[in-house]
Amino acid sequence: MPDAHHLLFRTLADPTRRAIFERLCREGELTVGALTARAGVSQPAVSKHLGVLRQAGLVRDRHEGRQTHYSAQLGALAPLIDWTSHIVGFWQSRFDHLEDLLKRIDQWANL
C-alpha cells in the first residue's frame, strides 16, 4: 500500500480522531473548544488529534482573531475511496470469472 494510503488509514484508525473528523463533516467549521465539549477528551488531546488530521490533509485551519476554526477536507479521502473501489473491482471481476466457470462446468457435464 502506498505511503499516502498508509498515512490516511493510520490517521483515521483512531476512534477519537475519526469521531472528531466525523463531527467536522457533519457540522461544518468548529473551534477546538466546540470540538472538546463533546469529544470526551481534554482540549490538548483534541488539539493533538487536529494536528495529526491536518498533517494528513483531512482538516484545514483558519485563524480569526484568537480563535482557530477547523474544517473537514473531504477531498483528502479520495485515496481511501479509490482504494476501496479497487478492492471491490477486483472481487467483482473474480465473481464474473466464477460465474463463467459455473456455466462451463454445466457444459462439461453435458459432453
Partner 1 sequence: MGKPVTETLSVVVEREIPHPPEKIWRALTQPHLIEEWLMKNDFQPVVGHRFDLRADWGAVGCQVLAVEPNKVLSYTWAAYGLESVVTWTLTPTSTGTHLRMEQSGFRPDQQQAYQGAKGGWPRFLAALEQVLARID
Q: Which residues bind partner 1 (CB under 8 A)?
A: 1, 6, 9-10, 12-15, 18-19, 22, 25-26, 74, 77, 84, 87-88, 91-92, 94-95, 97-102, 104-105
Minimum distance from CB of 93 to partner 1 (Å)?
10
Minimum distance from CB of 66 to partner 1 (Å)?
30
Residue 73: phi and psi, rounded to 5, are -115, 90
From 72, 60, 61, 64, select the one nearest 28 (Cα to Cα). 72
Minimum distance from CB of 12 to partner 1 (Å)?
7
Is the CB of 67 or the CB of 94 nearer to partner 1?
94
What number of H helices and E strands is found in the chain? 5, 3
Is the CB of 66 or the CB of 103 nearer to partner 1?
103
In Å, what is the CA distance from 101 to each residue of 85, 97, 105, 106, 108? 24, 6, 6, 9, 10
